Each structure stands twice: as structure tokens, then as C-alpha cells.
Structure 1
């Protein structure tokens, strides 16, 4: 509503992104995260945040945007496209009589790395996709605008209500680097197991409630001549959307937070890790994945899924928009909640991974950072939150913005499981804080697990070792969460 969502590129490019997302795992020719981290920045930003753009501060212009001040926006053009941003930019242009330069791209990092180094970044960036900028590095170097200025401004719909009052609390938490709120995750993504309700209904199958029921159903599906699962084997970290959350559901958020915090033995001393990774080992051993999945991109796996060559797909709620070109009419795209591991699960049935995605940042070094924040304020209006839902079939971080709207099948399903989950929501920081670890290192291990090249015990041992390496690497900034 996204992974971001992390979000994703077109054919041949994966999510980051991680979130997005969401770096790719080295199977495509892109700069490595290490390269982007090393040369994305050219030193610290301004000592003071930009709090006024030189214009008169009024109720309608709380940030003080200067009339006629040009704006430059760099928007990731992947699974969500970029028209929603263009629509908001048009309102900025109309309101302030200013020229807006828009760039829609899948190459955010490569195109903006030299600009940050040169001290001339754009005013606002949707930093998603496989080739994203290293936000942790940018934040630690003081190059990102603290968006508390935006949060404390009056909202577009009701100037008496601050922007922060309209945003989902998880968004306010996820966008922090230490004490600064410098990343606005605009979308809200539902991650899970996606399927065609029509296919299940036609075959008389029910979406499973437990891991054991899923294994049993996979046997019935295979007997019917259909592959139970597919996944984008070129970017196997997509499987982490489910795998990580399933561990948290069974073992509890406290134990998952230990993993996020790179604590000693967080993987090897967690029974839920063993249960979930062994579940995927069993799926692989019984050949419950579509043959050839290991060579598919995310687009190709979604196409196979749309063609009913496989029943289940691990993904985020951007998938409805991204796979629209190949989704047949009446497909009834749906998403299911996480599976129960047993009676001892730490979280109840109906628990769900749902969290902010699609990260927007405002560089301090841009020519018009206040204009960049104003564009975000426009995007956070009900008008543009609903426009986003209509155009890309995803929710934003604006609470209740889609009430009364007629939703597409996938978005309607995602909204229902989100509502049913209540407070039983799971958020994962590991992929946001350490994308090279999760997407390249752990993703590579997951790829081997799903092809049967390694067993669960080896996956767990090596995953712990990779996390330990990151923990001991002083060149990597560490983050810590308490909840």
C-alpha cells in the first residue's frame, strides 16, 4: 500500500527495494550498494534545516513557498508508474505559478549519485527501485531535510489539522533515522501470499490457515496439474516478504526485533526461524515451485501466475497495478493473511505484514527544498491520496482516505485483511536498514534453498554468519529499534 514498497521496476529490474525494496542480487548489471554508498554523497548538508522558502507564510502556504520558485522532482517509475506524481506537480505548478521539471526513471541511484556528490540534487526524490540511493548514508551525513517541518504544517484539506495528524503512526516511526524524521514513506503496502480467488473457487480449494494445511493443499494442487507456487528467482528476496513476516508471526515481534537489531544468535536461537525455513525447504523438496521459477524476473513470475500456471505468489500490494497488463478479466486477485505455525504462535491468526513503503526524501542541498516538502503536502491531501489509489491500486499513508471509494479486487482484498488484522501488524526493518545484506546475501541463500541446493539448517547458519559480519563491520551504520 508498499514495499516497498518497497516498489519495482519494469521487465528485468527487481525491487531494490528493498523496498522496495524495496539492490538486486548481482544477477543484473547495476552498481552495487557499496558503490552507491561510497560515492552517493559529498559530505554533510547545511547546518540548519530549511524552514522557509522565501515566500510569505499563510494558512494556505504554511511552509512559505516562494511564488514562481521552480521545482525539480525525481520519481521512480516502476510498478506504480509516475503519473500520480505528475498530477500533484500540476497542482504545485498551478498554485505557485512555477515551472516543474519531472524525471521518471528506474535509475535513481546512478543518475543522482553524481549530483549529490556535486552538491546539486533535485528538490524531491521518490527513492525506490533496485538502483536506489543509500538513505542511511545520506541521513548520517546530514544531507536530508528533516521533515518534521512538513509534519507540523497545516494540512491541505484542513489547515487546523497538522499533517502528522493524518498520517498512519507506522509511517511516522518508519521514517526516522535516530531523532530525525527524514523519509516519508508515501504508500502503505500489504505483503503476503497472493492468489486468484476465482481459481481457488473453481477448483474447490480454500486458502489455508496453517503451514501444514498449505503443504497439504500444495499436494492437491500439484495432482491437478498446476504448480502450487512461483517466485522471481532472479530476485529471490521477494520470498522474504513472506518468510520474514512468518517468522515474526510465529516467534513474536520481540524475537524479530532481535534480528533487526543484529543481536547474537537471533537467527540460530529462534525456533520460529527453524520452523519457517524448514517449511520452505519442504516446498522445494516436494517440487511445489513452478519449474524454471529460479530463472524468472518478477514480471515473468507474475505473468505465469496470471496465466494460472501457479496458484500462489509472494508479493506486495503493488502487484495488482504492476501485473495489470497480463491479468485476465475476472481473475479476482486476492491476498491472504499469514499462516499459523501452531497453537504456540506468539501472534494470532489474521496477523499481517503491512507497513509503509515508497520512500520520498527531500535533499537539503536542493535549490527548493521547501517546494519539495510542499509537493509532499499536496500529495498527502485526500484528493491525491484517492488519485493514487485509483491510478495504482494502492493505499497511501493518509488514514481513511479511501473510505467510500469503489476499490479494485486486489486493493479491496488487501484493505479487508488489513482491517481484520487490527493491531496485529508486522513491520520489518532489516531490509530497509541493510538492503545489501537481505537482498544480496540472504537473497542468495534463499535462492539456493528454493532450488534444493542447501537445506534449512545451512540457510540458518549462514544467515546468522552474514548478519554477524554486518554487525562487526564498522563501515556500516547500525540502527536499533525498540518496538
Structure 2
């Protein structure tokens, strides 16, 4: 692994930065004063100077369809969250270096995506490839509006690594391309890589010890939560500082009740029409009643994801919502007598589609418009989607990705319980509102969700506030 650089923030001193540094040093001006010293017009002029044209696709060159110069460094920034980033440093980047031995790979693994990357976007020196995810990500809809991204359609048209007779796009699961589109255009601004399932996690050991039955309906769930509370344990916690984790329990409860049409209305009528849906109102009201019953662990709203998950592992709460990365994220902290279990959010009585589970492509990779090595970035993505790239992901994360037919062996009980839901497409729906409406979701919806879960909003107040802000 000596040919893979450590996970530290290193911005390459390319030609554009070298020119800046030299000219500023001669004037006695520090590099940190660059943005304040330059006018917007000058900055735009510089951006235009280094703007790359569209990548040309050579269909006759299946080995190197983007014409990568193997001597040019590749600058990679990855969200180091629940899946960590060893799948990249010990997998994808090794595969890239095997193909381009001279290429220096500059790797940054961080949870603070926006803090680390935003200044680089502003100075027209972004990484070549960015895995834009996590609670501190940059919002996709804003990046698209600002014209900061490269259309990845050319990647989908390229021959796949393993079979040049089919395109990269043809290797992907249904709905993956759409999950990378923002707005009504056909451009593909992001490539989701993870295929995550969402639901509720619990300790199988705890349930066996107490004789508790895993609930399948909301009525059973509420009755069990009352029993759990009476035992002295909180029924529920969630990752309070990141209310994203409560989005699935609310929306899936609504989608299960009203069927796929509920999600379709969110996709086609994001305005008050979708938020006035009867099933959405019932889901919000159900969670408001849940909070009023005192079923949420005290202090949850101020917990980080790790705080809440640790409290759950230590037996302070019986249930926690999360995606399929949970078991991997906590693999080093799970008590010896704790065997994870998974269940979809229990359905409301009278639900039209009680078996639906959210299975959504996520962890979006993007290629910034002003990337120094966009051809290398596209080839990196093509390698990620190969059989070897997919195997590297599965071996390190025990999770599915967006490539069709992915399979892997695992002895993790939680993932084993979740996987059957993800392998049956007829019971899956996807939720891409965070991609399509990320700014609104972050600035309005998530604070309202936290207020609802603290008991500071009634269901009516929550819905009114959300609709008023649209």
C-alpha cells in the first residue's frame, strides 16, 4: 500500500496555483488574501482560462476510452463515514494505480466535506473526484444551479471494463441514473455508488432475553414501545444532530400507507400538494403521538450519530433508525452479546403497500467542472463500476452497490437480515428528495423534523411550517 498516499489534505500545486503563488509572493500578498483581493470579474476570467471542454469518448479504445494521461495526478476526496474509506484506498485506488503506475493519487478522507472542499471550489481548484455525502456535504441542487459539476452522461456511454460490448450505463441497477439527475434535465450530475437499505435496527439478543416479538404493524410497535418503556428502557433514539436519519421513518411510513403514488407526488409535485397528502399527514401525526407518549430517549436531539448509536449499543434504547452502513460503522464497538437485527418501519393499519422498503442509490460521486484531471476522474468511476471495483466495495463494507447482480458473503447478522429486502426490487422504492431539493431539506425540513421529535411541534404545526416554506 506504499503507493497510496495517506489520508491528509493536500492541494496539488498545479500550474494555476503556481502562477498565483508566484505573482502574489512578488507583491507581498499572502495566498489567503487571494479571494478578497481579486474582483469577481478577475476570478471568472481565471476560471474561463482553465475551463476544460467536454471529455471526448473514444469508443474504439475500450482500454482507455477517455484518453487518460497516466502521468497526471488524480486528486480524490471521499466522505469517510459509515463505510470509512478503505474500500477506496485499498481497493479502487489500487486498481487505478495498477492501470496507471505513474499516477500520483492525492487522497483526502473526511467527514467535513463542505468545510474541506468548499474553499477549493471557490478558488477553482476542486478535487478531480469528490464523494459528496454525509451531514456536512455540499448540496447537489446548489452545485448544479451554480454550474459547478461535469455531466457524467459520457461515462454511462463508455464501454464497461469487463465487457466492452455493453456500456457502463447498462451495468447499473434500475433508477441509478435518475438518482444522479437534478431537476428536469437529462444531464447526470452525480453517480450514486452505494445501494442502501433503510429501516429500524434492534438487538436480537435483547429481544430474546425479554421475550419481545418483533412488530410488523404500527399498533404492535406502539404496544411494544409501551412495554419497553415500562421496563425502564427508552424505546427509541436517533442521530439527533443529523435529522436525516428520521427522514426514512417518516416518509416510508407514509409510502407504505399510500403506496408508491406518495413518492411519485413528492417527485412531481414537491410543493404543498405532496405535503398535503393524507398518508403523509397520517405518518407525521403518528410520529407526533409517538413523541407525546415519551418513547424517545431524553437528550436524543442533541446527540451526534455516534453518540446515539453508542447509547443504543449500550442498551439505553431499544430501536434506532439507520441505513445499511450501521453494522460496518459500529463493527469495532458492538458488545460481544449484541446481535443486530433489522426490521422495516412497521406499517400503519390499512396500508396499501405494507411491504415497501426504501432502497436508494446514494453516496454520490461528482466530477467538478474545474477538475484538473477530469479524464482520470471518469476512468476512476469506470473502474469503480467494474467487477473488481465492486468486489473491493463489498469486501470492505459488506454492502451492495449500484451494479446489477452484486453478491457477497457476510456473517454479519444485521446485514443478513436486511439483504433480502434489497434483492427484491418489487418491494423497493427510492427517495431522492435530498438530491433534488437538498437545500430546502437541509435548511427547512430537517430542523422541523428535529422540532417534531423533541415535541416542540404538533403534526399540524410541522406540516404548516414545511408548506409555508416551499
TM-score with structure 2 setting the length = 0.83
**Alpha-carbon deviation of 1:393?**
2.9
Q: Is the 8 A contact 2:77 2:131 kept in 1?
A: yes
Distance in 2 between the 1:141 and 1:227 partners?
44
1:89 corresponds to 2:93: yes
Q: Is the 8 A contact 2:168 2:382 kept in 1?
A: yes
Q: Is the 8 A contact 2:142 2:439 kept in 1?
A: no
Q: Is the 8 A contact 2:57 2:158 kept in 1?
A: no
Distance in 1 between the 2:453 and 2:149 partners?
39
What is the aligned length?
421
2:257 is aligned to 250
Q: Is the 8 A contact 1:52 1:65 kept in 2?
A: no
Distance in 2 between the 1:447 and 1:116 partners?
31
**Alpha-carbon deviation of 1:84?**
1.1
Distance in 2 between the 1:324 and 1:132 partners?
24
- 1:112–1:293 Cα change, 3 Å: closer
Q: Is the 8 A contact 2:228 2:234 kept in 1?
A: yes
Distance in 2 between the 1:89 and 1:382 partners?
14
Q: Secondary structure at the match of 1:363?
A: coil
Q: Secondary structure at the match of 2:346?
A: coil
**Alpha-carbon deviation of 1:460?**
1.6
Q: Secondary structure at the match of 1:228?
A: strand
1:25 is aligned to none
Offset from partner CA, 1:197-256 (integer Å, 9 cap, x none): 222223222221111111011112122222111112223332112111211221233233
Distance in 2 between the 1:146 and 1:445 partners?
33
Equivalent residue for 2:74, pick from 71, 76, 99: 71
Distance in 1 between the 2:390 and 2:339 partners?
24
TM-score with structure 1 setting the length = 0.81
Q: Is the 8 A contact 2:215 2:346 kept in 1?
A: yes
2:372 is aligned to 367
1:111 corresponds to 2:116: yes
Equivalent residue for 1:271, pick from 260, 278, 281: 278
**Alpha-carbon deviation of 1:295?**
2.4
1:3 is aligned to none
1:198 is aligned to 205
Task: Give the alignment of 1:352-391 within 5 angstroms.
Answer: 352-391=357-396
Q: Secondary structure at the match of 2:175?
A: helix
1:239 is aligned to 246
- 1:179–1:48 Cα change, 3 Å: farther
Distance in 1 between the 2:339 and 2:394 partners?
17
Q: Is the 8 A contact 1:237 1:442 kept in 2?
A: no
1:329 corresponds to 2:332: no
2:463 is aligned to 460
Q: Secondary structure at the match of 1:120?
A: coil
Distance in 1 between the 2:340 and 2:357 partners?
17
1:446 is aligned to 449
2:309 is aligned to 302
**Alpha-carbon deviation of 1:462?**
1.5
Q: Secondary structure at the match of 1:294?
A: helix
- Going by fraction, where is helix more abundant, 1 or 2? 2
Which deviates further from its counterpart, 314-323 or 247-256?
Answer: 247-256
**Alpha-carbon deviation of 1:52?**
5.2
Q: Is the 8 A contact 2:76 2:130 kept in 1?
A: yes
Distance in 2 between the 1:142 and 1:450 partners?
36
- 1:235–1:406 Cα change, 3 Å: closer
Offset from partner CA, 1:453-481 (integer Å, 9 cap, x none): 22212112212112x2xxxxxxxxxxxxx
Q: Is the 8 A contact 2:271 2:467 kept in 1?
A: no
Q: Is the 8 A contact 1:249 1:346 kept in 2?
A: yes
Task: Give the alignment of 1:25-36 within 5 angstroms.
Answer: none
Which deviates further from its counterpart, 79-88 or 440-449?
Answer: 440-449
Q: Is the 8 A contact 1:354 1:427 kept in 2?
A: yes
Distance in 2 between the 1:367 and 1:57 partners?
25
Distance in 2 between the 1:231 and 1:446 partners?
12
Equivalent residue for 1:428, pick from 423, 431, 438: 431
**Alpha-carbon deviation of 1:313?**
0.6
- 1:47–1:71 Cα change, 3 Å: closer
Distance in 2 between the 1:141 and 1:309 partners?
44
Which deviates further from its counterpart, 330-339 or 218-227?
Answer: 330-339
Distance in 1 between the 2:298 and 2:148 partners?
46
Give the structure with higher Rg (CA). Answer: 2
2:153 is aligned to 148
Q: Is the 8 A contact 2:205 2:338 kept in 1?
A: yes
Which consecutive unaligned segments of at least 5 residues does structure 2 have? 1-39
**Alpha-carbon deviation of 1:330?**
4.8
Q: Secondary structure at the match of 2:68?
A: coil
Q: Is the 8 A contact 1:50 1:145 kept in 2?
A: no
- 1:465–1:256 Cα change, 3 Å: farther
Which deviates further from its counterpart, 187-196 or 438-447?
Answer: 438-447
Distance in 2 between the 1:237 and 1:257 partners?
20
